[in-house]
Amino acid sequence: MKYISTRTDKKLLGFKEVTLKGLASDGGLYVPNTWKEINLNLIGKDYSFEKTAYETIRCFIGKDIEKNVLKKIIKKSYSTFRDKEITTLKSLDNKNFLLELFNGPTLAFKDIALQFLGNTFEMFLKSNKKKLTIIGATSGDTGSAAIDAVKNNKFADIFILHPYGRVSDFQRKQMTTVNSSNVFNIGLKGTFDDCQNIIKKLFRDNELNKTLNLGSINSINWTRIMAQITYYIYAYNKVMKLTGNNNISFSVPTGNFGDAYAGYIAKKKFKIPINKLIVATNKNNILDRFFRTGTYKIDKVHSTISPSMDIQIASNFERLLYDVNNCDGNNVSELMYSFNDKGKIKVNKEYFGVTKNSFTSFSINEKETKQRIKDTYNDFNLVIDPHTAVGLEASSKYLKEQQEGIVVTLATAHPSKFSKSVRNILGFDPDLPLGYKNIFDLEEKYQVIDPSYNSIKNYILKKVTK
Ligand SMILES: *Cc1c(COP(=O)(O)O)cnc(C)c1O
């Protein structure tokens, strides 16, 4: 399988190049050029998570990873998870399931893709002469998951930008207490969107790219998306088997649109008959407004109790735009440039209609999120985190409208990552899984920097290890 940029560059690349490069030099994102190799029938199969991952991922890698090596990478990546099943399916009532995706080392769903990406990087880099400099932005959870995945990698340095003061204390400490010489944390005095914009600009910087070999761990990296398709297929099969009902939708707490877009691929390209992907946003509702009106219009960023979704520019929206525009990269490029200028994209009626076949959306406010956490505790004796609560509240709104079908809500983080919010709402601290007790005693290491492009660039050039 070959990959192409969503913008003007028509050069085709293989899986290895796309994994190591992250963002295309024209500013676009990589997507598969054709989907014709995908003809697997995974529906109804009683496969384990690892087996589903293997069958899914092998469609995308061509000859760049040998079969037995891929099996080993998958095994290694998921051996760090606390639950043998990797993702835990919980039934709340006969219409609502939760799929807990936070059994990995950093307690958020991002471990599922990043443990895999980290091991894939290591395998590819062993044979590369030049070190990789991984740069990434985090709204809270990507940073720690990425750092955990590459902290022992001798062939890479990692620089993570987080919006200073806008992530939870636990999230920050998970990143800044990792004591590895190849890990650098930057607290940017700005928002996540500021962090993401600087990262994208670094990738387009020819001078920097000549000196450093830049790699990405954000969901602009195709491999992140690819590794998330697995659990949609795995959960669909499991729920169908348990209930005998095949009217199954997924509610996806959404920020950068990577996770929801992975679900779209499961539905559209793997032909998993998912009914609807429910895009659940917090007050930062650019995507909800888009799926209601067809206009993608930027607004200012609001701080919420679900900070990993405090995002206005949803990078992976560009991949959806490319798909519904019949893969016309020139058109997508124009739309993205005009978005940069005017902060707005209006998608034509026909293409907007195509997105409506797969997606529906809700924006959940803070009061509803808190009430959902309370109700879930009272009704099911279950403590959920604020991101999961946004997803569950959207499920509830959807089921009220639809009356039938089953919704699987993706539980994206362990509640102890957001213990302060949970304590304010429920009056007690969620239990921390074993192995995390001492994180508040460890020494932190990070640099606070103003949101200036050159300051960040110079810091990276100064610190990078040779
Ligand atoms: C990153 C994150 C999300 C949003 O996922 P996207 O792929 O960016 O849409 C939701 N919940 C949690 C806990 C996250 O860390």
Judge whether 354 lies within some domain: yes
Judge whether 389 lies within some domain: yes
**pLDDT band for position 334 (50/70/90)?**
very high
Residues annotated as catalytic (active site), given as ranges: 110
Beta carbons of 414 and 305 less than 8 angstroms apart: no
Compute CA distances 75 → 47, 143, 147, whole Å: 14, 23, 20
- Average pLDDT of the residues in 30-47: 86
Q: What distance in angstroms lies between residue 67's CA and the mean position of ligand 1's atoms? A: 30
Domain span at 101: 84-107+223-426
**pLDDT band for position 209 (50/70/90)?**
confident
| Exposure letters 75-101 (e unless 16+ CB within 10 A, then b) | eebbeebeeeebbbbeebeebbbbbbb
- Average pLDDT of the residues in 184-195: 95
- Average pLDDT of the residues in 379-394: 98
Q: Which two tokens stand for residue 213?
A: 């070999």
State the pLDDT at residue 237: 97
Judge whether 30 lies within some domain: no
pLDDT in tens, 347-373: 999 999 999 999 999 999 999 999 999
State the pLDDT at residue 168: 87
| Percent of the residues in the chain that have a pLDDT greater than 90, as a whole number | 89
100, 254, 317: residue to mutate for ligand 1 pocket, most atoms within 8 A of CB: 254
Residue 435 has pLDDT above 90, yes or no: no
Q: Which residue, by CA, sits nearest to atom 14 of ligand 1? A: 308
**pLDDT band for position 455 (50/70/90)?**
very high
**Closest approach atom of ligand 1 to CA 253:** 10
Q: Which two tokens stand for residue 329?
A: 């990269």
Beta carbons of 310 and 255 less than 8 angstroms apart: yes
State the pLDDT at residue 320: 97
Judge whether 351 lies within some domain: yes
d(CA 371, CA 357): 30
Question: What is the sign, positive or negative, of the torsion defined by CA atoms of 218, 219, 225, 228?
Answer: positive
107, 112, 141: residue to mutate for ligand 1 pocket, most atoms within 8 A of CB: 141
Count the Cβ atoms, other than its own, within 10 Å of residue 420.
12
d(CA 357, CA 345): 20
- Average pLDDT of the residues in 276-302: 97
Judge whether 350 lies within some domain: yes
**Closest approach atom of ligand 1 to CA 255:** 9
- Average pLDDT of the residues in 387-412: 97
- Average pLDDT of the residues in 52-67: 95
State the pLDDT at residue 453: 97
- Domain CATH for 366: 3.40.50.1100
Residue 230 has pLDDT above 80, yes or no: yes
Which range scores top for mean pLDDT: 87-91, 199-203, 218-222? 87-91
99, 102, 110, 252: residue to mutate for ligand 1 pocket, most atoms within 8 A of CB: 110
| Percent of the residues in the chain that have a pLDDT greater than 70, as a whole number | 99
Which has more pLDDT, 129 or 380?
A: 380
**pLDDT band for position 38 (50/70/90)?**
confident
Ligand 1 binding pocket (C-beta < 6 A) is 108, 110, 141, 219, 253-260, 308-309, 387, 412-413
State the pLDDT at residue 99: 98
Judge whether 320 lies within some domain: yes
Beta carbons of 158 and 183 less than 8 angstroms apart: yes
d(CA 31, CA 328): 12
| Exposure letters 113-125 (e unless 16+ CB within 10 A, then b) | bbbbbbbbbbbbb
**Closest approach atom of ligand 1 to CA 141:** 15
**pLDDT band for position 327 (50/70/90)?**
very high
Task: Look up tokens 């070190």; give the residue.
Answer: 131
Q: What distance in angstroms lies between residue 257's CA and the mean position of ligand 1's atoms? A: 8
**Closest approach atom of ligand 1 to CA 139:** 1
Q: What distance in angstroms lies between residue 391's CA and the mean position of ligand 1's atoms? A: 11
Residue 133 has pLDDT above 80, yes or no: yes
SS3 of the chain: the string is CCEEECCCCCCCECHHHHHHHCECCCCCEEEECCCCCCCCCCCCCCCCHHHHHHHHHCCCCCCCCCHHHHHHHHHHHHCCCCCCCCCEEEECCCCEEEEECCCCCCCECHHHHHHHHHHHHHHHHCCCCCCEEEEEECCCHHHHHHHHHHCCCCCEEEEEEEECCCCCHHHHHHHHCCCCCCEEEEEECCCHHHHHHHHHHHHHCHHHHHHCEEEECCCCCHHHHHHHHHHHHHHHHHHHHHHCCCCEEEEEECCCCHHHHHHHHHHHCCCCCCCCEEEEECCCCHHHHHHHHCEEECCCCCCCCCHHHCCCCCCCHHHHHHHHCCCCHHHHHHHHHHHHHHCEEECCHHHHHHHHHHEEEEECCHHHHHHHHHHHHHHHCCCCCHHHHHHHHHHHHHHHHHCCCEEEEEECECHHHHHHHHHHHHCCCCCCCCCCCCHHHCCCCCEEECCCHHHHHHHHHHHCCC
State the pLDDT at residue 41: 82
Q: What distance in angstroms lies between residue 280's CA and the mean position of ligand 1's atoms? A: 10
Q: What distance in angstroms lies between residue 281's CA and the mean position of ligand 1's atoms? A: 10
Which has more pLDDT, 379 or 127?
A: 379
Nearest to 410 by CA among 90, 167, 187: 90
Judge whether 115 lies within some domain: no
In sequence order, the 6+-apart residues with CB closer than 8 A to the CB of 78 are 49, 50, 53, 86, 115
**Closest approach atom of ligand 1 to CA 254:** 9
Q: What distance in angstroms lies between residue 3's CA and the mean position of ligand 1's atoms? A: 25
Q: What distance in angstroms lies between residue 462's CA and the mean position of ligand 1's atoms? A: 31
State the pLDDT at residue 257: 97
Q: Which residue, by CA, sits nearest to atom 15 of ligand 1? A: 141
Residue 166 has pLDDT above 80, yes or no: yes
Q: What is the mean pLDDT of the chain?
A: 95
Nearest to 54 by CA among 78, 83, 29, 21: 78
State the pLDDT at residue 434: 80
Count the Cβ atoms, other than its own, within 10 Å of residue 320.
25
**pLDDT band for position 302 (50/70/90)?**
very high
Q: What distance in angstroms lies between residue 139's CA and the mean position of ligand 1's atoms? A: 8
Q: Nearest 5 degrees, angle CA 389-CA 199-CA 102?
A: 30
Q: Which residue, by CA, sits nearest to atom 2 of ligand 1? A: 308
Number of folded domains that form the chain: 1
Residue 437 has pLDDT above 90, yes or no: no
Count the Cβ atoms, other than its own, within 10 Å of residue 450.
10
**pLDDT band for position 402 (50/70/90)?**
very high
Residue 17 has pLDDT above 80, yes or no: yes
**Closest approach atom of ligand 1 to CA 412:** 13
Judge whether 64 lies within some domain: no
